[in-house]
Amino acid sequence: MIERLQKHEDLSHAVEWNIFEGVKDRKPYGDFIEGGVYYGQMKSGKRDGSGFLYCFTIKKQSILYEGKWKLGTPIKAQCTYIIGNERYKYDGRLDDKYLFTGIGNWCAEGGDNYVGSLEKGDFHGYGEYTYKDGDKFEGQWRHDKKHGLGKYICSDGSYEIGEYKDGKENGEHTEYSKEGIALEILIYYDGNEIGTRKVN
């Protein structure tokens, strides 16, 4: 770690230890980062350039950031954090509250993975989510829920395309074989299949 930082060191960006002041008001989350320690480049008394930040949330969740800062504000980072007994990783952009915002790659130790747009820590916008069993969803998200047009691909290659609302299938979904042949129309309401009809 120290060797990697020393490669970035220059006269205007000294590598230093620095107490991290924490982050409050992380809306829409109720938690906040209590504080921690930063080791990295500094300029005019502010974190600026490459560095490492180790800190804890009020819920005692540990977080390690390896990333870039600009005038004290985080820009992007590789982030590792632990919830319960499972480790998670994120690689992408951050906002000034250290929330995942922008294009990023999130993955869980158990095997789930998301690549796409995020906003304030939520999957939001277009993204592709791969489940540990091999299934995959490609489409629109809104605040961590599938919302809008999406394509759900099963591990055997078959798939269906249709609309989602608040995380649930809604309206007509077309089911396809793995060869791309339309098989039938599935009709959903609030996540429940309420009927089918033949493809015209």
Q: What are the pLDDT tens digits along the chain (200 aa)?
A: 556 655 655 667 889 999 999 888 776 665 678 889 999 999 999 999 999 999 988 888 889 999 999 999 999 999 999 888 899 999 999 999 999 999 999 999 999 999 999 999 999 999 999 999 999 999 999 999 999 999 999 999 999 999 999 999 999 999 999 999 999 999 999 999 999 999 87
In a domain, 191, yes or no: no
In a domain, 199, yes or no: no
The answer to whether the predicted template modeling score (pTM) of the entire model surpasses 0.85 is: yes
Burial of 30 (0-12, 13-18, 19+ CB in 10 A): exposed
Q: Phi/psi at 144 (nearest 5 deg)?
A: 75, 5
In a domain, 83, yes or no: yes
At 2 the pLDDT is 57
**Nearest of 144, 145, 113, 107 to residue 129 by alpha carbon:** 113
In a domain, 43, yes or no: yes
Task: Please state the domain count of the chain.
Answer: 1
Q: Which domain holds residue 104?
A: 2-147
170 Cβ contact partners less than 8 Å away, ≥ 6 residues apart: 162, 163, 164, 188, 189, 190, 191
CB contact at 8 A, 146 and 128: no
State both tokens at 112: 């789930």
In a domain, 163, yes or no: no
* CB under 8 A, 24+ apart: contacts of 119-127: 119/143, 120/27, 120/28, 120/95, 121/29
**For the CA atoms of the chain, what is the radius of gyration?**
21
In a domain, 78, yes or no: yes
In a domain, 167, yes or no: no
In a domain, 8, yes or no: yes
Other CB atoms within 10 Å distance of the CB of residue 37: 12
**Nearest of 69, 67, 64, 92 to residue 80 by alpha carbon:** 64
